[in-house]
Structure 1
Amino acid sequence: MKRSDQTVPLDTARRYHGLAAACLVLILSSHAQAQDPATPQWRPALHFSPAEHWMNDPNGPFLLDGTYHLFYQYNPAGMVWGPMSWGHATSTDLLHWHEESVAISSSPNEDIFSGTVVYDSRNSSGLGSASAPPLLAFHTSVFHGNPAHPDGTQAQSLSYSLDGGAHWRSYEQNPILTLEPESRQFRDPSVVWYPQGQCWIMTTVVADAQLVKLYRSTDLLHWSFLSDFQPSGYRKPGMLWEMPLLIPLSLDGNPHDPRWVMIVSVNPWSIAGGSGVQYFVGRFDGTRFTPDALPPEGSDPSAYDWLDHGADQYATIRFANTGTEAPLLIGWMSNWDYASTLPTAPWRGQATLPVQLALKTVDGHPTLIQTPTPTYEELIRRQGIAAFADRDLGSSQTWRVPLVGDVLDIRVTLHRGDAVRAGIVVRQSPDGRTGTVISYDFTTGNLTLDRSHSGEVAFSPRFSLTHIAHLSAPDGVLSLHLVVDRNSVELFANGGALRMTDLVFPPAGSDRVSLFSDGGRTHFTGIRISASAR
C-alpha cells in the first residue's frame, strides 16, 4: 500500500510501464532470492505468511459461511515492495491458512492498494441479487498512464464478487470517490455499517496531512462527505496516517455507555520507532467523530493511546461480517524501518495473531483490551497444557523451565516480594547467551521487551532492540501471556491491557524458557505452558 524509503529501486521502476517494469521487478526479485537462502526455521507456525514473495498490509478480512478470508498487499513477483496486488488466503480457525490465487491484480496502469471488504447482504449496491448478495471490495487505485488522472493519483475504487470471494470484477464506473483537486495521498477506505443512521460510513485518509475523512452512503456506490478528523496532539512533519478504522464498542460491557474507537496507523514516529498503531476513544454522532479529552499539546508520545508498544504491528484492520461477537483485528507484523531487509526467504512479511477487542476502564482510562481469539484458546486446550508448581526466586536467581519448544504459549503471574525486577526469557539458547527478555521493574512500573540478544539483529541498523511501556501492577501483581512463534514474540500483559509485538530471529536450538528475579524475591504463580501449539 505504501512506499518505504528503502524501496527506491522499485519506486524508480514505477516510472516505466508494461514489460520494462515487469522485467525489472523480476530481476530484482531473482537477485534478492539468490542472496537469501531459505529460512524454514523462521517460518511462522501460528501466523499467516505467503509461501513466497513480499507481503505487507492485511486487506479486507471477513467471515462468510464459516470461512475467514484474508487479503493482503502482495507483490507476486518479488521479495520487496513493488506493484501491489491483493493476495488471498482462507481459514476456518484463523490459525491454519490456505493460500488462494491472487484476488485483485495490479496492471501497468493501476496498482491496487489497501482497503476493506463488506458483505452487501441487502444487495444495496444492485451488483448482485437478493438470493446471491455480492461482496464489495473497496480499495485504493493508484493510476499510471491514465489520461483521466495524473500519474500517481490515488482514488477509491470498487471490485465485487458474486461467488463468495473466489473471483472479483472491477466496477465499471471506477473510481467511486476522488478528491478535488486529485491527490497522491488519498487512500485506505474502510467501510462499516452504522445502524443508527441506516447507512454505511467510510473512513479514508489524506496520509501526509494526518487527516481522516468520513463519508456516508446508502447504496455503497455513491458517497457524500461528512466531516474531517484531525485532532491536535502528537503529529510530526513527514508523519503519515494510514489505515483508519472506526469501531463501536461499549465501555466495560455496558450497552448504555457506547463509545467509538478511531484506529490509525502511524509512520514514522510511532511509540516504538518507525511504524505503529495509535487509537482514540470518543463518540460518533453519525457525522463527526469527537475524541475524549486528549493529552495537552506537546505531551510525550507515551501519553497517547497505542494499540501495540512493540515495533512490529502496523496496518491493523477489522474482520467484517462476524456478527455480534467482539470485533476481531489482524495486522501486519513488520515495521517500515526495516521491512525490506528482513532475513527471511523465500517470503518476506506476515500477519499478526488475530485478536478480539473489548473496551474497559483501566486506571480510570478507557483502554482497548486485546486477547487471542476463542479459536486460538481452543487450539491451546487441544494441544495440552503443562502446569508447573509455583516458584519462589530470590535475588539474582533463575529457574529454567523443564520444557522446550520453538512454538509456545506461556502464562505466568508475577507477585512482588521485595524484588526490583523480575521476568521471563524465551527462545533462549542452551548456553543462555541468546534469548528475548521480558522484564518488569516494580519500582518504575516499566515493562520491557529486550531483543538485543535474540539472535540475528544486524540485518538493519534501524532494527530497534528494546521496547518499554509503563504499566501499573496493582498490589505488586502482574500477569503475562506470551505467544511465542518461530520468529516472533507477542506479549499480552494484565489480561490484554497492554500488548507488545516483536519479530525475533533466533539461532537453531534456542528453545528454552527461564524465569528470573533481581534485587529481591519474586513469587511466580499460574505457570502454564503449551508447547508446539500448531
Structure 2
Amino acid sequence: MNEKSGPMYYNGIYHEFYQYNPDGSNSPSLSYNIVCGHSVSTDLVNWIGLEPVLVPDTPSDICGCWTGSATILPGNRPAIIYTGLINMEKHQVQNIALPKNQSDPYLREWTKAGNNPVIQPVMPGLNSSQFRDPTTGWIGPDGLWRIAVGADLNGSSTALLYKSEDFLNWTRVEHPLYSSKSFDMWECLDFFAVLSGSNGGLDMSSAIPNGAKHVLKMGMDYSDKYMIGVYDLKRDVFVPDTVIDDYRLWLRIDYGNFYASKSFFDSKHGRRIIWAWSNETDTSSDDVAKGWAGIHSIPRTIWLDSDGKQLLQWPVEEIESLRRNEINHQGLELNKGDLFEIKGIDTLQADVEIDFELTSIDDAEPFDPSWLLDAPKQCREADASVHGGIGPFGLVILASDNMEEHTDVHFRVYKSQQNYMILMCTDLRRSSLRPGLYTPAYGGFFELDLEKERKVSIRTLDDPTLY
C-alpha cells in the first residue's frame, strides 16, 4: 500500500481509501493492477480492512486505480474522484465513483460514473503521464463545485482548476489555481481553509468565514510541502503570502518519512485531520518475505498557528487510549554527554513526552542560513555524538544493550540574527547493523523564541515498524 485516496468521516464511520497492490508487496508504482483499498474505523485507532472498492476493469482505469479524494455532496452523498491509468504509457484521466448503497454503514460497494473519464488531459503542453491526484471538492461563490488536479504543464508544476454544477461534468478553467516553475510536477495536492488562532477545522463544502487563510499542499521531491495564502474569490486563484523561488525552502508538513499526505474535515469533532504514507526501511526481499510493504502514519489534527505563518500538528487524542503503565520522571538534571535510561518500558511501542528546560541560551552556536537547503546533511555532520554549544539533547530509542544499534531523536540550538533556530533530527544510520537497509538521517529547522520560554518539548510515538 502507499498513497491515500480520500479519507473521510461519514455517518459515524471513518473511511480510509488508498492505493493497494493486490499482487504482492512490490511498490504500487511498479504495477498496472493497482486497486483502491478500503479500511474503516470508529475511533481512528482500530481499523477493519475491507475488500477493495475500485478495481481496474473499465477503459478509463484499465491499468490502475490511482490516488484521489473524497467529497461529501449535498444530500449527504459521498463521492470519490480518482485518477485512472488508461494504458501502459501511464496516460492519466480523472474518474468519479459513488456508493452503490448509502445505507450500508461501511460503504463496501461503489459504482463508477457512466461518463468516466470525467476529465481528460486535452490541452497543449500538458504531459498526460503527469496529470493526477484530484483534490477534495469545494464550492465557489457562484455555487459551482471546484477541484484542482496536479499537472506538468510545459515543464511547470501546476494545480489545474476545474468547475462543475453536478460533480459529474467538469470544465477546465482557463487559468490554473496556482502554478510555479520551481518544479515539474506536483502530486497528491490538497487545498483547504484554516483560521488563525483556532485549532478547529473548516469544511470546504460549506461557506468559509471571512479572514480565513488557505493552504495549498503538494507532494514533490519525496516530501510534502505547502504554502499559506489567500483564495482570491474574484480571480479564482490561490495567492501565497510569500513567494519563494527555491522549493527547498518552502514550508514542509513533516521533515521525516512522510509523503503523499491527505487531509479531511472531521465533522464529528470539528477538526481537520491529516495523515500520510510512510515507507519502512526494509529491503525488497524483506517485503516479499513478510508479504506486505507500506504503512500509514498516525492521524494528526492540523491547524494554523496563531501568527498565521505555519501549520501546527498533534496526534489525534484517540491515540491516548492506547496508553498503559505510565512512567514519570520530573526534575532531572542532565549535563552535556549524560545519558539517563528510562527504565520500565518493556514493550516496543511507547508514547513519550519530554520537556527540556535550558539553563542558559548564551552558548548557542551561530546559524548558517545555507543549512536550510539541506538540513539532513547538518544532522549527519553534527550528529548526536558531536557536542555543540547547546545540544544535542533528545531521546535514544530502540537501543541495544551495547548501543551498537539505536535511533537518535535530538535537537541542537543555533542563534540567527533574528531568533533562535532549532535543528530537529531523526537519525536512523545506527538503527540496525544489517546491510542493505534504508537508514537515512532526517532533519529540519524551526524557529523558537527561547527568550520568552527556555523550553523545547518533544513527543515521540515509538514503533519498530519504521526504525
Classify the TM-score, shorter chain: 0.7 to 0.9
Structure 1 runs of 4+ off > 6 angstroms?
Answer: none
C-alpha contact (below 8 Å) 2:279/2:293 kept by paired residues: no
Residue in 2 aligned with 1:155?
A: 93
Residue in 2 aligned with 1:515?
A: none
C-alpha contact (below 8 Å) 1:118/1:320 kept by paired residues: no
- Within a 5 Å distance, the mapping from 1:165-176 to structure 2 comes to 165-176=107-118
* Distance (Å, rounded) in 1 between the aligned partners of 2:135 and 2:113: 17
1:356 aligns with 2:294: no
C-alpha contact (below 8 Å) 1:138/1:156 kept by paired residues: yes
C-alpha contact (below 8 Å) 2:150/2:185 kept by paired residues: no
Identity %: 20
* Distance (Å, rounded) in 2 between the aligned partners of 1:98 and 1:67: 11
- Within a 5 Å distance, the mapping from 1:252-401 to structure 2 comes to 252-253=197-198, 256-266=210-220, 268=221, 275-286=222-233, 287-295=236-244, 297=245, 299=246, 301=248, 303-310=249-256, 312-320=257-265, 322=267, 325-334=270-279, 341=284, 343-344=286-287, 345-361=290-306, 366-380=309-323, 383-401=324-342
Residue in 2 aligned with 1:12?
A: none
* Shift in alpha-carbon separation, 1:340–1:241, aligned structure 2, 3 A: farther
* Shift in alpha-carbon separation, 1:231–1:342, aligned structure 2, 3 A: farther
* Shift in alpha-carbon separation, 1:142–1:300, aligned structure 2, 3 A: closer
1:464 aligns with 2:440: yes
C-alpha contact (below 8 Å) 2:156/2:180 kept by paired residues: no
- Within a 5 Å distance, the mapping from 1:25-36 to structure 2 comes to none
**AA paired with 1:452?**
R
* Shift in alpha-carbon separation, 1:420–1:104, aligned structure 2, 3 A: same
C-alpha contact (below 8 Å) 1:119/1:321 kept by paired residues: no
* Shift in alpha-carbon separation, 1:300–1:175, aligned structure 2, 3 A: closer
- Within a 5 Å distance, the mapping from 1:156-305 to structure 2 comes to 156-164=94-102, 165-181=107-123, 183-194=128-139, 196-207=141-152, 209-226=156-173, 227-232=175-180, 235-236=182-183, 239-253=184-198, 256-266=210-220, 268=221, 275-286=222-233, 287-295=236-244, 297=245, 299=246, 301=248, 303-305=249-251
Q: Give the match's secondary structure for 1:392.
A: coil
**AA paired with 1:97?**
W
* Distance (Å, rounded) in 1 between the aligned partners of 2:446 and 2:354: 19
Consecutive unaligned residues in structure 1, runs of 5 or more: 1-54, 123-132, 146-150, 269-274, 488-502, 505-534
Q: Give the match's secondary structure for 1:399.
A: coil
C-alpha contact (below 8 Å) 2:98/2:113 kept by paired residues: yes
Q: TM-score, normalised by structure 1?
A: 0.69
Match of 2:87 among 123, 131, 144: 144
Residue in 2 aligned with 1:90?
A: 40
* Distance (Å, rounded) in 2 between the aligned partners of 1:262 and 1:324: 23
Q: Which whole-Å deviations, capped at 9, do the CAs of 1:456-477 have from their partners, x for residues lacking one?
A: 66435x6423434344252431
Q: Give the match's secondary structure for 1:424.
A: strand
Give 1:232 shift.
4.3
Q: Give the match's secondary structure for 1:90.
A: strand
* Distance (Å, rounded) in 1 between the aligned partners of 2:179 and 2:325: 47
Residue in 2 aligned with 1:436?
A: 407
* Shift in alpha-carbon separation, 1:307–1:456, aligned structure 2, 3 A: farther
Q: Give the match's secondary structure for 2:53.
A: coil
**AA paired with 1:483?**
L
Residue in 2 aligned with 1:451?
A: 428
C-alpha contact (below 8 Å) 2:228/2:309 kept by paired residues: yes
Q: Give the match's secondary structure for 2:296.
A: coil
Give 1:196 shift.
4.4
Give 1:300 shift.
7.2
1:135 aligns with 2:85: no
* Shift in alpha-carbon separation, 1:339–1:157, aligned structure 2, 3 A: farther
Give 1:195 shift.
6.4
* Shift in alpha-carbon separation, 1:279–1:468, aligned structure 2, 3 A: closer
* Shift in alpha-carbon separation, 1:457–1:313, aligned structure 2, 3 A: farther
* Shift in alpha-carbon separation, 1:232–1:361, aligned structure 2, 3 A: farther
Aligned pairs, number = 399
Give 1:318 shift.
1.6
**AA paired with 1:288?**
V
Q: Give the match's secondary structure for 1:224.
A: strand
* Shift in alpha-carbon separation, 1:483–1:162, aligned structure 2, 3 A: same
**AA paired with 1:112?**
C
Consecutive unaligned residues in structure 2, runs of 5 or more: 200-208, 361-388, 416-421
* Distance (Å, rounded) in 1 between the aligned partners of 2:230 and 2:269: 20
Residue in 2 aligned with 1:102?
A: 52
C-alpha contact (below 8 Å) 2:99/2:110 kept by paired residues: yes
Match of 1:411 among 338, 342, 353: 353
C-alpha contact (below 8 Å) 1:339/1:349 kept by paired residues: no
Q: Which whole-Å deviations, capped at 9, do the CAs of 1:357-400 have from their partners, x for residues lacking one?
A: 110145xx6110011112123443xx353222220012321110
* Distance (Å, rounded) in 2 between the aligned partners of 1:450 and 1:457: 16
Q: Give the match's secondary structure for 1:428.
A: coil
* Distance (Å, rounded) in 2 between the aligned partners of 1:413 and 1:212: 41
**AA paired with 1:242?**
E
* Distance (Å, rounded) in 2 between the aligned partners of 1:466 and 1:157: 36
Which gives a bigger RCO, structure 1 or 2 (Cα 8 Å, sep 6+)?
A: 1
**AA paired with 1:176?**
V
* Distance (Å, rounded) in 1 between the aligned partners of 2:146 and 2:430: 46
CA RMSD of aligned residues (A): 2.6
Residue in 1 aligned with 2:11?
A: 65
